[in-house]
Chains A and B, each alone.
Chain A
């Protein structure tokens, strides 16, 4: 029913029932004149039982003044707050503890900005948000039960935290015991919901009023988006959601203004010092971690590398640097990385989460004991620029080993690059330019040699079955390379082939991996990333590990239901091969045979048919494909489906790596 222009009409058009002695339910819009709120009865701190109370407790209670409806549940105001933060979507698996908010979003909020996306698992919700952010640079609003939902979501939150990705998570919870109507609501209630994930979120709060919700809701967004970014949690109390907005609040509630702080840039003197070291170097190397937060980060990194003609060793956490740039000094194998670092006299780490590992080697897993040594040459200077120095938690150890460096700039690297580039340009004398140009030519030759070698290696086993991951990557690139494509999966388990064979130069073409290697991230992150790409008409492709998909395959239904165009190509190697290799390591260390290392890690007998799985969720699929000659045509057919705006999956039986 339409509202009247003035006041007094419920937005749902229900008649209000009032009774003497009950709180008046005034059907007015916020901002209109309201009746004075009722005064709270005065009560002594420890009142003795009065005759009236005794009578009330011992006599038949009078008929209860039932109030069935309200025109303004608290959840509506919560929606106002959350809408002010400009979320595009809500990713959630439904839960009764946030039913009030869900109803307000879909009716009062008209299910737009944000639009509700149905998820089949809370881990999927958060991982989808993780993938979405890395494409769009905008956070997603997720919702979950404060108890069982958060328990499901927690691994994905840890991945996002370790990957410096903001996720805004609302937890439903009933704090007031009198409002818990059943054992379900008791088991779904928790004293301190966010405690479970406090070690790997940036901030949380449990507001006890709507005003408190507004302030904490806006603050959470600000905290989340300030580098180093990370997930935040706000608990939405059931009573606040479902009960009428208090009369007194209708006058006074406001939503605080949001201002996201500018990212912290490095100290000017420290930046100049870094520039001096870099310009004076004979062979500087830039190690790129999560440096390019935005597309501009790529441009800045290219400008810095070209200014000083330094090779860029990309750790593949983000799309940091064009893969065919002559200064892209990134061979596939970590052993090659160690050689690159060993040859450098200056190593500049930009948002590298494990810088110590980049500059040290340890006893490998095939030997007893543990020793470590620097891989850098004696006297090499180490510089870090990272917002990681501005924020740490203690319990989870994602911060890595303490790195002894010569200069540590606690700042966001992308925000610091403009000043660093300018400082380097000012210091580049003709002599240093000449040295840099000579170095640049050598790096370009090395880049070409690495690329030639990668293509030679890709040819080996070209016609093999199971299909090599190199061929899979080449065939996939062949069908998408003339499209506006976005590759949204990790490459760790496919020997990094796409990064070795494809031409990456746009920010959305690569988004890195899990963050904390929590498996189960891949499929939902790909769906979230594909949703972000949808409005741009990009072709989103995902090389999907089989073990990963089996954690929560319901995300395929989410993609089908919401018509999210995504081409998933199964890396169906029929096992948890990383763990299988670890079992081989352990068996060999124990001097035992390795015939049993398939136990507990193989995904065969029966083989899983992912094409059938995808079909069951309503998605186009083909395969399993075992003959490499069938792969190209199958990918083309699947691409045609994706170009129509729907998801498709091609099941490919692949080699282990």
Chain B
């Protein structure tokens, strides 16, 4: 029994280590990075985009596509190298973006409806 228990503990420990080595995307860390790295400056706190940045809310980009774009943007966005933002950190930012509640549609906002229809 002692042997079995010991093996179980070892296996559990290995599993825990394995989890640390390949962590899942961390939404909270993504939110922290979205603030720290100033994504909100151009893309807005709600990912709404604006004059200087594309809409990120409800993004259709995959993690890989987001990472590729950030490394070599086709527009005027600053290019962020791995030393500044790691792939993992970008994955966390992506996870945070995907965790944002889906934006309301304009047709569901009475004021916008009214202004558009006037």
Which residues of A come within 8 Å of B, CB atoms? 332-333, 335, 364-367, 451, 455-464, 466, 468-470, 474-475, 477-478, 481, 492-496, 501, 503, 577, 580-581, 584-585, 587-589, 591-595, 597, 632, 655-657
Contacts and interface: CB of A to CB of B under 8 A. Distances in A.
A580 B41 contact: yes
B46 A591 contact: no
Contacts of A366: 73, 76-79
Please list the 7 inter-chain residue pairs (A to B) with the smallest Cβ-Cβ separation, ordered nearest first. A461-B46, A588-B78, A364-B76, A657-B50, A460-B48, A461-B48, A495-B50
Contacts of B78: 366, 584-585, 587-589, 594
25 contacts: A333-B51, A335-B75, A366-B76, A458-B112, A459-B109, A459-B112, A460-B58, A461-B44, A461-B45, A461-B103, A474-B112, A495-B51, A580-B38, A584-B38, A584-B41, A588-B80, A591-B84, A593-B84, A595-B36, A597-B38, A632-B111, A655-B48, A656-B42, A657-B41, A657-B52
B51 A460 contact: no
Contacts of A332: 51
Contact of A457 (B55, B84, B118): B55
Nearest to A367: B79
Contacts of A459: 103-106, 108-109, 112
B115 A474 contact: yes
Among B55, B109, B115, chain A packs the most CB atoms within 10 A around the CB of B115
Contacts of A589: 78
A657 B118 CA distance: 26
B81 interface: yes
Contact of A460 (B38, B41, B55, B76): B55
A629 to B, nearest CB: 11
B116 interface: yes
A333 B50 CA distance: 9
Chain B interface main SS type = loop
B81 A591 contact: yes
Nearest to B58: A460
Nearest to B102: A460
B97 interface: no
Contact of A466 (B45, B80, B112, B118): B45
B2 interface: no
A451 B111 CA distance: 15
Interface of B: 36-38, 40-42, 44-53, 55, 57-58, 73, 75-81, 83-84, 103-106, 108-109, 111-112, 114-116, 118
A478 B84 CA distance: 43
Contacts of A466: 45
A481 B116 CA distance: 12
Contacts of A456: 105-106
Among A461, A474, A503, A577, chain B packs the most CB atoms within 10 A around the CB of A461
A657 B42 contact: yes
A503 B118 contact: yes
B44 to A, nearest CB: 5
A308 to B, nearest CB: 29
A656 B41 contact: yes
A20 to B, nearest CB: 76
Nearest to B114: A478
Given A455-B106, A459-B103, A655-B50, 7 more contacts: A458-B106, A459-B104, A459-B108, A460-B57, A463-B104, A469-B50, A477-B115
B58 to A, nearest CB: 8
A257 to B, nearest CB: 49
Contact of B84 (A365, A458, A493, A594): A594
Among B51, B55, B103, chain A packs the most CB atoms within 10 A around the CB of B51
A191 to B, nearest CB: 46
B63 to A, nearest CB: 20
B36 A462 contact: no
Nearest to A464: B46
Contacts of B44: 460-461, 464, 468, 655-657
A466 B44 CA distance: 10
Among A466, A496, A587, A594, chain B packs the most CB atoms within 10 A around the CB of A594
Nearest to A333: B51
B45 A464 contact: yes
